[in-house]
Every structure is written in structure tokens, then in C-alpha cells.
Amino acid sequence: MRTGTRYALRRIAMSLPVIFGVVVLTFLLLRLVPGNPAQTLLGIHASPSAVAALQRQLGLDEPIYRQFWHYFDGLLHGYTGMSIYYQVSTSSLIGERIGLTAALVGVSALFTVVITVPIAAFAAARKNRAPDHAARVVSLVGLGLPSFWFGIVLILIFSVKLGWFPVGGWGTTPLQHLRALVLPGITAAIGICPVLIRSLRAGMLEVIESDFVAVARAKGIRGSRVLFVHVVRNALIPTVTLLGINIAYLIGGTVVIEQVFDLNGLGNLMLTSIDNRDFPVVQGVTLVYAIAVVAINVLTDLVSVRLDPRVHLE
């Protein structure tokens, strides 16, 4: 077997215990509900027979190890539970919504790179001078910026005042979908840009101070060309790695951003199911989010190995 394939398989195998842990934790969520979970979910006015029926549906009348086995066995067969509110399988609800959220995450990852790389490169190239200080202040301001509020401000400026983008919603044609994702994508990106700019600037400084950049300069190559050809290219690997590390935070941010922009994705499903006190859906969505993060982390690891021959396949 080729070393690359072997590495990929090993990396996937390494993530299996984490996925198992994720399943255990989402299983335990229901145990954290105070009192009798069925009663709490239905409210104090629910009839005893309704409570008993829900207890049966949630499997609460069995011993805990059997409950876990049913949950785990179901997942292995692709069954994530039954929605209390909609009375359909949670996986069909998740399937309807996951595409929008995936598109939103993709668009925001793109915006993250587009915003982060130039600012970090500029700051690193002008270390300890005005642009560097400006980038530091901007990222410090960004650290305390509630992204949902930033989204509201963007709507106010670009949708209400200028009318460039829809105020919310998803539209019907692919072009409308794309337009609908611009502002939410920027909003989600802003949530992780400050952290990324700071780390990437540090990574780029390392490259700038390395020998091959000094050689490129000594050969008389123009400063901007050195920056974009030699430095940025070598800084792409840490960008991919950093994006992988921070993707969980980015994805978590989209839950709230979908709410701001009225997008019917997974986050919206999670929040409406909380309103409906529909526990199985909340549980299923939580699980899907976590597994997506694990999968993306494996993927970014594999990509950075391919990008960087220096990363050893060990």
C-alpha cells in the first residue's frame, strides 16, 4: 500500500475513538435534563399517559446500558431517532437542511482566507510599523465583536440602506442562493478572522525571516513579488492547518448567523427544535455537527500533508 493511503487510513482510524466519545456525550445529554426528562420536555401540564408514551419513545424505561446500546446500534444503521414534534425521523429533517449549512460554511471558509491572508501578510511585511499595529488593533477589536450583531449591522448597511443583498432568506435560483450567502458568509468569517490573523502573522514572520526569502531578496526580486510568491505560498500550509483547528468555532458561529439572516439550515433546525422542546432533533443535530468537525479535521490534516512534503508521514 502507498504510504499516503496508509497514512490516510491511520488518520481515519485515530479519529474513531473521538467519534465514539462524541456519541457517548450526545447520548448523555438527555441524562443532564433535571428531573424526569419526559416530564420536563412535555411541561408540567402534560398528562401522565403522554409522559409514559414519550418515556417509551425515548427508551427511558430501560436500564441505561441497554438505552445506550439501542442508541449506538441505531446510529450504526443510520437511525438517529424520531422527532417528537414532527413525528418523522430526525435524519430526514437533518438531510433537508444540511446542504444550506454546508454551503454557508464553505462560503465563510473562503471569506476567511480572503480576509485573513492579505492582512496577515501586510502586517508581517511591515513588522512593528503602522500597518502591523493597525492589524493588531483591528484583530483585538474583532475578538470582542459579537458576530450576530455584526451581521445585523451589515444587514442595516448593505441590505436596508444600499439594497445590494436580501435582508434574509434563501431565494429560489442558484444565483439568489449565492447572493443570500454573501453577508452571512462574511459575518461567520469575521468570527474567526482575528485569531487567524494573529497566528498567521506569526507564521509569516517565520517565513520572512528564513534563508530562502533572504536569498530571493538578494537576487534582486521585487519586495511585493517576494511577499506574494515566496512568503504567501509557504504560509498557505499553516493557513489550512489553522482553518482546520478553528473550523469548529466557525461552524458553531453559523448556528446563530442562520438565525440573524433567516436561513433554514441545521442551526435553524436546532434552534426551532429547542423552542419545540424536541430533544431527539437537538441531539441528532449536535451529533452531526461534531462528526462534521472531526471529518474536516481529518481532511485538513491530509491536505496539509499533501501540500507540504516536509510533513513526515508518521
Give 35 or 220: the residue with its C-beta nearer to another protein.
Answer: 35
CA 26/CA 229 separation, integer angstroms:
46
293 binds another protein (CB under 8 A): yes
CA 5/CA 264 separation, integer angstroms:
37
Applying CB under 8 A, among 53, 271, 303, 311 the residue interacting with another protein is 271
299 binds another protein (CB under 8 A): no
CA 59/CA 293 separation, integer angstroms:
28
Applying CB under 8 A, among 182, 221, 248, 311 the residue interacting with another protein is 248
Give 240 or 294: the residue with its C-beta nearer to another protein.
Answer: 294
Backbone angles phi, psi at 2, to 5 degrees: -65, 150
Give 68 or 228: the residue with its C-beta nearer to another protein.
Answer: 68
Applying CB under 8 A, among 16, 33, 215, 313 the residue interacting with another protein is 33
Write out the E strands in 32-170. Answer: none
Stated as kind and residue range, the H or E segment containing 222 is none
Buried b (16+ CB within 10 A) or exposed e, 151-163: beebbeebbeeee
Give 282 or 305: the residue with its C-beta nearer to another protein.
Answer: 282
Cell (9 digits) for 179:
447572493
Where on the chain is the footprint of another protein (CB under 8 A)? 17-19, 21-22, 24-25, 29-30, 32-34, 136, 140-141, 143-146, 148-150, 152-153, 155-156, 160, 248-253, 255-256, 259, 270-271, 274, 279, 282-283, 285-286, 289-290, 293-294, 297
